[in-house]
Amino acid sequence: MASTDATVFIVDDDEAVRDSLGLLLRSGGYRARCYGSAQEFLKAFDVRDQGCLVLDIRMPGMTGLDLQKHLEEIGCNIPIIFITGHGDIPMAVEAVRMGAIDFLQKPFSDEELMSRIADALDVAARQREGELERMDILDRVETLTAREKEVMGQVVQGKANKVIAADLGVSQRTVEIHRARVMEKMQANSLAHLVRMVMVAEAE
């Protein structure tokens, strides 16, 4: 079973569909929250909420695709599983291209749905871990002095201490001290580790 923190958000304009989906997901051990429209969902949703989104692609007003786009714009990358009706394949393909986990065509089997939900929540979890690591790294970076950040920048480019000393106009010894401090503060156990952390921090 998935982690209990995760919530499956269901957005479908058809009450019976979302109600039955909610029941089905409950039977799968998930916590489900149902919304009749994209606007309703956005009102209740907090970007810090964990979980995935089961989204009807075809809705009056703001469609599923509209919502997907909006979420991306506000920097929310909650995994989305689209539910499509007959003949909505092109839209579904577009949705996947835009980053959706997958789409399910109605009527679909419960196993299929469960498997996709699991995938989505995995993604969500991984995303959350990555995010946490990055926040951690960023916190460590914040502990560096300006000179240390400078030295780290040069170090991750693979420059020798001597070169860095020349560039910054300081002694090689000074560079060595800064470098040791950087490795210590960033809790890096190797240069490779430091490089990876800088890349994570600089992502986005």
Partner 1 sequence: MSTPGTKSRPRAAASSATLPQAFAGSQLATLLNATPDGIVLIDAQGIIQNFNPGAEKIFGYAAAEVIGRNISLLMPEPHRESHDGYLQRYSDTGEARMMRAPREVEAQRKGGKSFPAEVSVGEVLTDGAPYFIGIVRDMTERRAAEERLRKVEANLLAAQTLAHVGSFEGPWPGPGEFFWSEELLRIAGLPADDAPPSMEHFVQAYVHPEDRGAVRVSLERAAREGRSGQVEHRIIRPDGQRRHLQTIHQVVTDARSGERRIQGTSLDLTQRREAEEALRRERDRAQRYLDLVNVLIIAVDRDGRITLVNREGCELLGYPEDELVGKDFFAACQPPGTAGRARILFEEALKGRIDEFSLIEGPVLTRSGRTRRVRWRNQFLRDDSGAVTGVLSAGEDVTEQRETEAQLRQAEEELRLIFRRAPVGMATLSAAHGVDGHFLSTNQAMCSMLGYTETELLGKSMRDLTHPDDVGDVAEQLDSLFSGSESVKHETRYFRKDGRIAHALVHHSLVADSRGRPLIIISQILDRTDVVEAEMEARQQRARLAHVARLGTLGEMAAGIAHELNQPLAAIANYTRACQRLLSMGEIDPEELSDVMGRVTGQARRAGDVIHRLRNFVRRQTTERRPHRVNDLVEEILPLVELDARSHEVELVLELSEDLPRVQCDGIQLQQVLLNLTRNAVEAMNPVESSKRLTIVSRLHDAESVEVRVEDTGEGVPDDLVEQLFEPFFTTKPEGMGLGLSLSRSIVEAHGGTLRYDSRPGGGSVFSILLPTAPEEE
Q: What residues between 69 and 98 interact with partner 1 by CB under 8 A?
A: 85-87, 89
Q: How far is the CB of 30 from partner 1 (least distance, A)?
A: 11
Q: How far is the CB of 92 from partner 1 (least distance, A)?
A: 13
23 binds partner 1 (CB under 8 A): yes
**Of 14 and 150, CB closest to partner 1:** 14
**Of 64 and 197, CB closest to partner 1:** 64
Spell 2-29 as b/e; 16+ CB within 10 A means b.
beeebbbbbbbbbeeebeebbebbeebe
**Of 48 and 86, CB closest to partner 1:** 86
Q: What residues between 25 and 54 interact with partner 1 by CB under 8 A?
A: 26-28
Q: How far is the CB of 184 from partner 1 (least distance, A)?
A: 52
HEC sequence for the chain: CCCCCCEEEEECCCHHHHHHHHHHHHHCCCEEEEECCHHHHHHHCCCCCCEEEEEECCCCCCCHHHHHHHHHHCCCCCCEEEEECCCCHHHHHHHHHCCCCEEEECCCCHHHHHHHHHHHHHHHHHHHHHHHHHHHHHHHHHCCCHHHHHHHHHHHCCCCHHHHHHHHCCCHHHHHHHHHHHHHHCCCCCHHHHHHHHHHHHCC
202 binds partner 1 (CB under 8 A): no
Count of chain residues binding partner 1 (CB under 8 A): 21
Q: What residues between 90 and 149 interact with partner 1 by CB under 8 A?
A: 106-110
**Of 102 and 136, CB closest to partner 1:** 102
Q: How far is the CB of 108 from partner 1 (least distance, A)?
A: 7
Residues near partner 1, by CB under 8 A: 14, 16-17, 19-21, 23-24, 26-28, 58, 85-87, 89, 106-110
